[in-house]
Chains A and B, each alone.
Chain A
Amino acid sequence: MTAPSAAASGAGLTAEAITKRFGPVQALRDVTLHFPPGQVTALMGENGAGKSTLLRILTGDHQPTEGRVLLDGQALGLDSPIDARRAGIRIIPQEPEIIPHVSVAENVYAGSLPRRAGRRLDRAELRRRITADLERLGFDTVLDPDLLGSGLTAAQRQLVEILRALTGDTAARAIAFDEPTSSLSDHEVDALFALIGRLRDAGIAVIYVSHRMKEIFRLADRIAVLRDGTVAGTVDARTTSEGELVRLMVGRDLSALFARQHVATDRVVLRVDNLTTHDVHDVSLEVRAGEVVALAGLIGAGRSELALALAGDTPVRSGTIRVDGSVVRLRGPRDAIRCGIGLAPEERKAQALFLQRTIRDNTSLVSLGRLRRWRFVNRTREKALAQEYADRLRVRAPSIEAEVRTLSGGNQQKVVLARWLALGPALLILDEPTRGVDIGAKAEIYQIIADLARQGTAILVISSELPEVLGLADRILVMQNGRITGRLDQSEATEEAILALAMADDLTPDLPYETATAPRTGTDPAPGGTR
């Protein structure tokens, strides 16, 4: 690890005037940021502010529409992640990519394994290398190089990624950590921070993406804030405050976005008692007609899993679900839809949309039963229906015959909403309804939610954006580790209160690869192939 002379001007990694467009969506606009060597620069911003896109450009995964990336003042042509790796730019991704059935050592050097004549694996050299590298980085006590990829904990998986970044032919010059602590326990976070400290002292430019204020103040030298694809400001971590950072991140009066009256009635649409599934434990809740209930919590708290259970997609182990007072047994999403439960899932492209089909097809899909005579779909009525909801939700497209893949994220989300609105569900579950949606479409989606509530729909919103939770909800339920850990009324809820509940106790933090407590039966699909 060579320490470049930090004194040289322009040393370190620089993003220069970077603009990135994805079709109609402008993800980054004229972003110029400098990441000096020997410093930790935190990158903050709301979801969708452009942090991931910037990281992807810096690490060669995306190419900028305009602008360039420089290292020590030299422009780099980064056509692929391999180019970036050669130049010494590394990223520790949020979700480590681990090959399940090979050892830690082979995972670390995958792609450049030592070999003997005839392309046979040189096991002695592999052993020598991994031992030396583990020792050099101080991991020799925490990571056994013979463990199989499938048996690693979340923290160990991350260590493998870090090892990948710090080994290899070229020395690392800049390392980006993308929300590295989201699946680590306190003790593991301490170890990670010690390591990042050493990287900084070795003259590496560290980029640290996180939402967690406390960590950022503990670790960062400088803080760069992105907002809606532009740089909102770069501040010195020693002189700034949480308030200033929030102001930089939000930069607008949020209350205007959420101007809505509260129209909750007394009619209980959904009542859940002691619901337990594979990932959700003993959850009880109620949603009334016209009420917006938000499920807050950290990623992995079990909110989406609860949503899928309510939509009939995951089997219920115990507990009851009542819709309009009567107990329902949901054997599949079809049953849930019959009961009037609609789900706009978290990953709209993967879980909701048919990208190659038209807006009309996507909108009418769950309403076809109403649009057919015998089994023939009445095209005229179908078009009228799709057009009505496309107009009502202001879907911006040339016509309802446009393929959904050509639309922007916000308009795609509106198509998902149109599908459910056309059906008129009693309960609508919205999982991260504004993720990856620009600010204008966000405001429109909030308005749609408010309108629905006024018409008497019961709404359950899952959101990781606290301002959204606070602005939309009549009541807020906070989840952690598959359980509801807090219930807040709109009047008493603050970001701090929600966060406190979301990270409430020191139950084992949510480590999907360590939850040996939940007995896995043979039929349960084991995530990540842990078998």
Chain B
Amino acid sequence: MTTALSVDREPDATGDRPRPAATARTWLARAGGQNLALIGAMALVLALFGSLNPNYLSWDNIQVIAEAVTISGLLAVVQTVVIICGALDISVGSQAGLASVTSAMVFTATGSNSLLGIGAAIAVGAVIGTLNGAVIIYGRVNATIATLAGLAAYKGIAQLISNGAAQGYVLNDSLFVFLSRGKIAGLPVMVWLLLLVAAAVHVLLKYTDIGRNIFAIGGNDTAARLAGINLNKYLIAVYALSGMVAAAAGVLLTARTGSGQPVSGSEGLELQSITAAALGGCALKGGRGGIGGTLLAVALLGALQNGLTVQGINAFWQNVAQGALLVTAVIIQQRRTGERAVGLPA
């Protein structure tokens, strides 16, 4: 960005505009207070657990953390897009479960065709995502309620078609093995996938008119409509995207565990994804947020969870910690908006 904003313009009658100083300060401002706070928290977590257990900071453990957060990370990335729209998708975990079962069952039914299995899972994700969007738009159902219904229904479908049991075995297939254990340039393939999706969504949000319109819809849907943005189209597309990315997460779940999992491994991912997005600075009212913050929050949550596990802290406490984190993140957000504290929270 070499063009200075107003430097070469003739002096304005309204007074001088401050000249943008292209220094560390603007860089910091661009990174945002929220992200700095996350980096600080991350440093704290790493220092704490690192001092308690020297193996915590080893390259091996860091890879374990990175792999562990891929699936919830994918969901958090796409949840970020949904939240920026001013909506919420609490059915992402169930969608991932349904996709996981689908991928394994189609893989088995087609005589170990992994591409067909993965393709079918993604297609299912696209369909149920679109269905979510259609229920919200054409049924005029509140997004939280619609996807809460989806949370139950999609989980039920996954259990029905699988009889509630893990399906098939996929780790005899080279593609699934590559997905679960492969490495490119020293980093696990799963982590690369997360980074790839995150980068693509980041570019979509930041550099395209589609992203601008998504922010506009979440910021003020009436104004967005009057500015000629087709809300219905955008919302359905965003939910379809959410379904497809959730399905990709489901495929990774199949690859990691070796078989299609209707429930285990995907339950509770909606909470993790929403927590990460909120911690990462997404305004739950919509219109504000970004992928960078969400990724940082995903990493922070993963580091925390791994540290607690390494220290032998009861997993039940980790649930308590996660709930507390979500509420704390939102309280901090609300404090920062500086709105008058009257009426019911939006």
Contact = CB atoms under 8 A, between A and B. Distances in A.
A352 B225 contact: no
B60 interface: no
Interface string B208-222: 111011011001101
B216 A354 contact: yes
A334 B228 contact: yes
A526 B255 CA distance: 52
Contacts of A352: 223, 226-227
A376 B230 CA distance: 19
A383 B4 CA distance: 10
A356 B228 contact: no
A399 B18 contact: yes
B335 to A, nearest CB: 16
Interface stretch (B6-14, B69-77, B101-109, B144-152): B6-14
B3 interface: yes
Contact of B228 (A333, A379, A398): A333
Contacts of A391: 9, 12
A353 B220 contact: yes
A252 B266 CA distance: 70
B17 interface: yes
A380 B3 contact: yes
Interface stretch (A219-227, A363-371, A457-465): A363-371
A378 to B, nearest CB: 10
A8 interface: no
A365 B207 contact: no
A298 interface: no
B235 to A, nearest CB: 14
Nearest to B229: A334
A400 B20 CA distance: 12
Interface stretch (A22-30, A166-174, A229-237, A343-351): A343-351
A501 B135 CA distance: 47
In this complex, the member of A356, A357, A372 whose beta carbon has the largest number of chain B beta carbons within 10 angstroms is: A356
Nearest to B220: A354
A334 B20 CA distance: 36
Contacts of A376: 207-208
A164 B229 CA distance: 43
Given A355-B220, A376-B208, A311 B17 contact: no
Nearest to A401: B5
Nearest to B342: A80
Nearest to B222: A351
Contacts of B256: none
A372 B213 CA distance: 13
B223 A351 contact: yes
A391 B17 CA distance: 12
Interface in B1-45: 1, 3, 5-6, 9, 12-14, 17-18, 20
B288 interface: yes
B17 A365 contact: no
B287 A356 contact: yes
Contact of B209 (A332, A351, A375): A375
Contact of A343 (B14, B207, B226, B229): B226
Interface in A447-485: none
Contacts of A398: 17-18
Nearest to A386: B5
Contacts of A377: 207-209, 212
A91 interface: no
In this complex, the member of B6, B215, B225, B227 whose beta carbon has the largest number of chain A beta carbons within 10 angstroms is: B227
A400 to B, nearest CB: 7
Contacts of B6: 387, 399
B226 A333 contact: yes
A354 B9 CA distance: 27
A313 interface: yes
Contacts of A354: 215-216, 219-220, 223, 287
A337 interface: yes
Interface string A325-350: 00000001110111000010100001
A394 interface: yes
B220 to A, nearest CB: 5
A212 interface: no
Nearest to A348: B223
In this complex, the member of A313, A368, A380, A391 whose beta carbon has the largest number of chain B beta carbons within 10 angstroms is: A368
Interface string A380-402: 10010001000100101011110
Contacts of B220: 350-351, 353-355
A291 interface: no
Interface in B211-256: 212-213, 215-216, 219-220, 222-223, 225-230
Contacts of B212: 361, 364-365, 368, 377
A394 B14 contact: yes
Contacts of A387: 5-6, 9
A375 B211 CA distance: 10
Contacts of A364: 212
Contact of B219 (A357, A375, A401): A357
A356 B3 contact: no
Contacts of A419: 227
Contacts of B287: 354, 356-357
A313 to B, nearest CB: 6
A383 B226 contact: no
A391 B6 CA distance: 10
Contacts of B225: 313, 332-333
A361 B228 CA distance: 15
B230 A334 contact: yes
Contact of A365 (B9, B14, B20, B227): B227
A383 B228 contact: no
B208 A375 contact: yes
B268 to A, nearest CB: 31
Interface of B: 1, 3, 5-6, 9, 12-14, 17-18, 20, 207-210, 212-213, 215-216, 219-220, 222-223, 225-230, 287-288
12 contacts: A313-B226, A332-B225, A333-B227, A352-B227, A354-B215, A356-B287, A368-B212, A377-B212, A383-B5, A387-B6, A391-B9, A399-B18
The 4 A-B residue pairs with the shortest CB-CB distance, nearest first, are A334-B228, A368-B209, A354-B219, A337-B228
Given A334-B228, A354-B215, A361-B215, 19 more contacts: A333-B225, A333-B226, A334-B230, A350-B220, A352-B223, A354-B223, A355-B220, A357-B216, A357-B219, A361-B216, A376-B207, A377-B207, A379-B1, A383-B3, A394-B14, A398-B18, A399-B18, A400-B5, A401-B5
